[in-house]
Amino acid sequence: MSTSSATIDTPARPAPTPPRQLLPNGVMGMAIFIFTEVMLFAGLVSAHEIVRSQSIGEMWPPYGQPRLSLGETAINTAALLLSGFVLYLANRIFKQDKAKAVAPTLVALLLGIFFVGAQGAEWVALLGDGLTMTSSTYGAFFYTIVGTHGLHALSAILALGWAWSRLRTGKLTATEFTTVQVFWYFVVLVWPFLYLQVYL
């Protein structure tokens, strides 16, 4: 190539090597999915913010609607954040010794289940106080946003349960574990924003 002088100068290229992988396939796929999820919640939250800013007399919650239980949900929030931290620790242990990661993963899973259960109990109480999907846009947004997150939390619990059962039998690969963790961390980390947005 470089021998002929009056032609396009093509620099010599090194021998072909496979492309460098930034992330393993599963983790990258999940990360892209998370971007979409972030935009989904951004859409819900901005819709909530717009309707809230147009509420009559800036009264939010609207007249006759119950206030949300800030305190009880703070405990749920703490449990969820803790589950994320425990799962992070489980991952560190997993890298040293796969068998020892079974117990902390189960703890994270149970904390997640506690969160969804406690949220469910809170919904039952709120329904009793007269906050429903149709009682006001306040209620509609509350159930839509928190419910969307709840569905994500349930999916994350199913995924982590699957990972945990494979971890017990020693079949779980590092990529699979990381993929599930990415989704779990998303569910954990998006919650404080929703909590501040909807409850305060």
Partner 1 sequence: MSHAVTADSHGHAHDAHDHGPQGILKYIWSTDHKIIAMQYMFTGMIMALIGGFMAYVFRMQLAFPGQSVPGFGVVSPGEYNSLVTNHGSIMIFWVAMPVLIAAFGNYLIPLMTGADDMVFPRINRLSYQIFLISAILIIASLFVSGGGFGGAWTAYPPLSSMSEYSLTKLGSSMWLLAVALEFVAFLLGGINFIVTLMNARAPGMKAYDIPIVCWMIVIASILFMLSVGPLIAGAVMLLFDQMIGTGFFDPTRGGDPVLWQHLFWFFGHPEVYVVLLPAIGIVIEIIATFARKQLFGYKIILYTAIVTGILSFFVWAHHQFIAGIDPRMANVFTVTTLLISVPIAEMMFVTVATLYGGSIRFTTPMLWALAFVAEFLIGGVTGIFLGASGSDIYLHDTYFVLAHFHYTFFPIAIIGTFAGFTYWFPKMFGKMMNETLGKIHFWGTIISFNFIFIPLFFLGIGGQHRRIYNYENFPDLIAGQPLRVVATVAMLAMLAFQVVFFINLFSSLKSGKKAGNNPWKANTLEWTTTSPPPHGNWPQDEMPKVYRGPYEYSHPDRDEDYWPQNLPS
What is the binding site for partner 1 (CB under 8 A)?
Answer: 1, 4, 6-8, 10, 13, 15-19, 21-25, 28-29, 32-33, 35-44, 46-47, 50-51, 54-56, 62, 133-134, 136-137, 140-141, 144, 148
At 4, is the secondary structure helix, strand, or coil? coil
Smallest gap, in angstroms, from Cβ of residue 6 to partner 1? 8
How does DSSP assign 91-127, residue by residue?
HHHHHH-TGGGHHHHHHHHHHHHHHHHHHHHHHHHHH
Smallest gap, in angstroms, from Cβ of residue 158 to partner 1? 17
Phi-psi region of 58 (alpha: psi -120 to 50; beta: other; left: phi over 0): left
Nearer to partner 1, 43 or 192 (CB): 43
Nearer to partner 1, 114 or 123 (CB): 123
Helix axis angle, 137-168 relative to 102-128, nearest 10°?
160
Smallest gap, in angstroms, from Cβ of residue 115 to partner 1? 22
Nearer to partner 1, 66 or 113 (CB): 66
d(C-alpha 189, C-alpha 84), whole Å = 8
d(C-alpha 132, C-alpha 105), whole Å = 35
Nearer to partner 1, 68 or 86 (CB): 68
Smallest gap, in angstroms, from Cβ of residue 199 to partner 1? 19
